[in-house]
Structure 1
Amino acid sequence: MIEASRVINAAPEAVFAVLADGWSYAGWVVGSSHIRDVDEGWPAPGTRIHHSVGPWPLHIQDTSVVTAVEPGRSLSLEARGWPLGSAAIRLTLEPHGGGTLIRMAEHIVRGPGRALPVPVQALIAKPRNAEALARLSDIVLGRSGA
């Protein structure tokens, strides 16, 4: 697993509220360019975000599906972006002082990206996920007025 983490100066419930808003994903998930639809009941297991990945006009239309959820604590997804493959992503939230420590762990589970050695995958995934957490933090803090 490749992991990035960040402390956000907001309660875990405020962070999870953004994760539970599927329409916000294009605002913080690096590479996601457009949300086409969010299944009713998101983020229940099995529900999907229908998204586009990449810049227009070269974007790929695909989905990400919830594989597990503990409201206020964690969210696990399989993020797809064929023909590139798909990745298992787990976001965990822990109280940290007056804020939240969020961890984002990822590993490729399908597709050609699995052939890349983990250190090479980390060169791409770690900075991308650190940027995603920075964007997520901005959205959380913007919504909370902090």
Structure 2
Amino acid sequence: MWGVLADADQYQKWVVGTRSTHEAEGDWPGVGASLRYEIGMGPLTVQGHTVVRVCEPPDRLELEASAGRLGTARIAVRLTPWGEGTLITMDEHPLRGTVARLHTAPVDVALQLRHRLMLTRLRNVVEGGRSPADKEAGEHV
């Protein structure tokens, strides 16, 4: 699981809304490292970037994501061993800009739906990178 979070090339595969990633700056996911990408919905696209704020392998990653004039958000991911699998806790809060000013209960509902989709994508990326034998013997998500 941590291997996917620590691989900048995997970001667009599990982060909802990310169409393509560009260059990573620094040693991802080290604190201060950043990743540039294109965010899109339908025909609309925005250039974004994410900076690593906290990195405590193999269980904690906190990011600050920026979508230009739309604003920034803090995204915290925690991985906790849970039986034979891994419990993933994801928390996202708008920090600045339009997204922060428009943060309401309905927006929180939309964020929860987004997180469910991201967690499903993350699981699919993790499981897709392992052979069937690895899946049986290894980490369960």
Q: With structure 1 as the length reference, what TM-score do the two structures score?
A: 0.85
**Could you report, residue by residue, the CA deviation over 1:19-45 in whole angstroms, capped at 9, with x for unpaired residues?**
000111111100011101112410000
Matched residues, percent identical?
36
Task: Please name the residue that 2:97 is paired with.
Answer: 111
Partners in 1 of 2:96 and 2:12 — Cα distance?
22
Match runs of 1:1-146 below 5 Å: 15-55=1-41, 58-145=44-131, 146=135
1-structure distance, mates of 2:103, 2:23: 34
Unaligned runs of 5+ in 2: 136-141
Q: Distance in 2 between matches of 1:78 and 1:71?
A: 17
- Structure 1, unmatched stretches of 5+, are 1-14
- Cα deviation per residue 1:46-84 (whole Å; 9 max; x = unaligned)? 000111111475311121000001011110000111221
The number of aligned residues is: 132
Structure 1 CA distance for aligned equivalents of residues 51 and 99 of structure 2: 19
Larger RCO of the pair (alpha carbons < 8 Å, separation 6+): 1
Distance 1:47 1:68 in 2: 10
Matched position secondary structure for 2:117: helix
Matched residue of 1:18: which SS?
helix
The two structures have a TM-score, normalised by structure 2, of: 0.88
Distance 1:35 1:130 in 2: 21
Q: Distance in 2 between matches of 1:26 and 1:133?
A: 13
